[in-house]
Amino acid sequence: MKQTKKLKFNIPDYALFALEKMKEKGFEAYIVGGCTRDLFMSKEPSDWDIATNARPEQTQAVFKFQNIKTFYENDFGTVGVVFPENNVVEITTYRSESTYSDYRHPDKVVWSRHIEEDLKRRDFTINAIAISPLGKEEFEIIDLFFGLKDIKNKVIRTVGKPEERFSEDFLRMMRAVRFENTLGKGWKIEENTEKAIIKYSYLLEKSSKERIRDELIKIIMSENAAQGIETLRKTGLLSHIMPELEKGFGVKQNKHHVYDCYRHNLECLNYAAKKGLDSHVRMAALLHDIGKPTTKKGTGENATFYNHEMVGAKMAEKMLNRLKFPKKDIDKIVNLVRYHLFYYNVDEVGESSVRRLVRKAGIENMEDLLQLRMADRIGSGCPKAEPYKLRHLKYMIEKVSQDPISVKMLKINGNDIMQILKTEPGPKIGQLLDILLEEVLKNPKNNTKKHLTDKLMELSKLKDKDLLKLTQKAKKEIDKIETKQDQMTKERYWVT
Ligand code: ATP
Ligand code: MG
């Protein structure tokens, strides 16, 4: 259905310029895909995609003429056009659907002459609308599959028969779930589309793990992440992505929990997503208890799950490797799962235990670990008040990670002093070091070999009695500074 409509769309000048230049040279050019959908939903598109009947070389020629940089480094006919401030418009030659005999990539890309054919190969009606500006606030709209109606009703429906369209590319099933949960409130997968997903869910295994991973990340990063995972489970897709997670479904916990293992993991993810926490914490929240089903001993309210964090960390590592997550992300997530159970109680757990936790889990991961712990508590369904304890632990972490105040901080040591003053070892060396330490604590700029040597020469002229007095005064000062520093750290975390 072709129509012309007056519409107020906010399209940046560089995208309008790209459309205009293509048309000036006699080519067709339409804004398509996710950005058209976003415009009709009054959302700001994240990137600008244009479809054209020009071949990639012809598109490049149009912009070469304008002295605008382009790149073309793929097999899909997409030319990137680079405008100032790194604004990129992607211009892709019309394509028609081709066969996917490996279910991963189209066998070959077939160019097409008609926008209609290009729209027909797209996954969902809402992603298959093309628009092109005609004049001021006037647009040509091509909406062959009633995508506008589906946007209005918030329906995700395949272009054409769902079973056929999923058979061409099974990843589309997961994309349907992704769109349902990331487009906003009230979106639903259309009934026949959903039935086909349920029927073919087991065939998701044929899709490449990298593509599955990318869709999974989009679901996890959305505000409705937990709902998205639940839709994956209900449609049967989850057991072909993360069977380890699904295993916890219906596995009851004990008196500390309201939910089963699976639901608890989801509730934690829900907290992390609503709080806008980063991807590592979200993923760790979702996976933190996957070791529970296999380590469960006993039943009822006294069931135990000894070592589930270690077993879970191993399982998470295997799963994330299988899904081709980058190594550095795997390391971070696995580490959080491994240490999520740390025990902490004010006055009960001492500095050495905190120091051990920091050493094992890494100081750079402490903030994430504390956030995961918060998610774990809230996600249990019967959260005990813990903010004070966590603040106190933060204080302890900072305390044990600060450089201790000690003569080791000085740019001069006992041996240097013996050499400079040509003396033997003895209590005097320690006294001198204490006085120098006070000198440096009062003003860190004093911590140079030269300044300390000069000071040392001065001190060496003093009588033993006076030196001792100075040492005692210095020790008191050092003590005061230590107490003050600790007080400041405490105040920062509102703990006493
Ligand atoms: P987002 O805003 O999250 O990027 P999007 O709709 O732009 O969503 P993309 O994955 O960027 O999604 O794809 C761009 C467009 O390409 C889609 O709108 C759709 O028209 C088409 N498309 C992408 N993947 C497929 C697929 N697997 N099968 C058919 N068409 C697809
Ligand atoms: Mg996109």
What's the CA gap between 38 and 175, in Å, rounded?
16
Q: Does any domain span residue 35?
A: yes
The answer for residues whose C-beta is within 8 angstroms of residue 139's C-beta and 6 or more apart is 4, 5, 6, 7, 9, 131, 132, 133
Are residues 142 and 8 both part of a single domain? yes
pLDDT tens for each residue of 244-266:
999 999 888 888 788 899 999 99
Q: Where a domain ends, among 153, 186, 217? A: 153
Give domain status of residue 248, yes or no. Answer: no
Q: Decide whether any atom of ligand 1 lies within 6 Å of the 172 Cβ.
A: yes
For the chain, what is the domain count? 4
Rounded distance, CA 268 to CA 259, Å?
11
Contact between 80 and 68 (Cβ < 8 Å): no
Q: Measure Cα distances from 15 to 32, 42, 82, 419 in Å.
A: 12, 17, 11, 74
Task: Tell me the average pLDDT across 405-430.
Answer: 91
Give the closest residue (by CA) to ligand 1 atom 6: 34
Shared-domain flag, residues 420 and 441: yes
Query: Do residues 22 and 125 both lie within one domain?
Result: yes
Decide: 118 in ligand 1 pocket, CB within 6 A: no
Per-residue model confidence as pLDDT tens digits over 48-104: 999 999 999 999 999 998 889 999 988 888 999 999 999 999 999 999 876 666 666
Provide the pLDDT for residue 435: 95
- CATH code for position 205: 1.10.110.30
Which of the listed residues 43, 116, 123 should we mutate to test ligand 1's pocket, taking the one with most ligand atoms within 8 A of CB? 123
Name the most confidently modeled range: 90-104, 273-287, 477-491: 273-287
| 14 and 95 fall within a common domain | yes
For residue 394, pLDDT beyond 70: yes
Give the pLDDT confidence of 113-156 residue by residue, as tens digits.
999 999 999 999 999 999 999 988 899 999 999 999 999 999 99
Ligand nearest to the CA of 128: 1
DSSP state of 55: -
Q: What is the DSSP letter of 95?
A: E
Instruction: Output the pTM of the full model.
Output: 0.87
Looking at 184, 212, 241, which one is the last position of a domain? 241
Measured from the Cα of 172, ligand 1's closest atom is: 27
Q: Best substitution site from 47, 48, 122, 126 to test ligand 1's pocket, by max atoms within 8 Å of Cβ?
A: 122
Ion ligand 2: residues, Cβ under 5 Å: 34
Q: What percent of the chain has pLDDT over 90?
A: 75
Residue 243 identity (one-letter amino acid) = P
Residue 247 lies in a domain: no
Residue 250 lies in a domain: no
Does residue 159 lie within any of the structural domains? yes
Pair 392, 417 in one domain: no
Q: Provide the mean pLDDT of the chain.
A: 93
Ligand 2 mean position, distance from CA 34 (Å):
5
The pLDDT, as a whole number, for residue 60 is 96
Q: Is the pLDDT of residue 486 over 70?
A: yes
In this structure, which residue's CA is closest to atom 12 in ligand 1?
34
Confidence tier at 192 by pLDDT (50, 70, 90): very high
Can you tell me which atom of ligand 1 is nearest the CA of 171?
A: 27
Q: What is the pLDDT of residue 140?
A: 97
In this predicted structure, what is the pLDDT of residue 100?
67
Per-residue pLDDT of 101-115, as tens digits, reads: 666 666 678 899 999
Task: Identify whether residues 86 and 173 lie together within a single domain.
Answer: no
> Domain check: are 63 and 200 in the same one?
no
Q: Do both 12 and 148 map to the same domain? A: yes
Identify the CA nearest to 259 among candidates 270, 274, 272.
Answer: 270
Q: What is the mean pLDDT of residues 319-347?
A: 94
Look up the domain containing 458 and give its range. Answer: 407-492
Find the range with the poorest average confidence among 110-114, 261-265, 343-347, 357-361: 343-347
Beta-carbon contacts of 98 under 8 Å, excluding residues fewer than 6 positions away, are: 106, 107, 108, 109, 110
Closest listed ligand to the CA of 175: 1
**Which whole number is the average pLDDT over 401-418?**
89
Instruction: Determine, yes or no, domain membership for 251.
Output: no
Domain stop point among 333, 367, 401: 401
Q: Are both 123 and 60 inside the same structural domain?
A: yes
Ligand 1 centroid–CA 121 distance in Å is 11
Amino acid at 490: K
The residue whose CA has the least distance to atom 24 of ligand 1 is 123
> Which neighbouring-strand residues pair with 93?
52
* Residue 24 and residue 148 share a domain: yes
Same-domain check for residues 305 and 383: yes
- Ligand 1, residues 127, 142, 206: which to mutate, most atoms within 8 A of Cβ? 127
Residues 266 and 389 in one domain: yes
pLDDT tens-digit series, residues 433-472: 999 999 998 888 999 999 999 999 999 999 999 999 999 9
- Cα angle 114, 115, 118 (rounded to 5 degrees) comes to 100
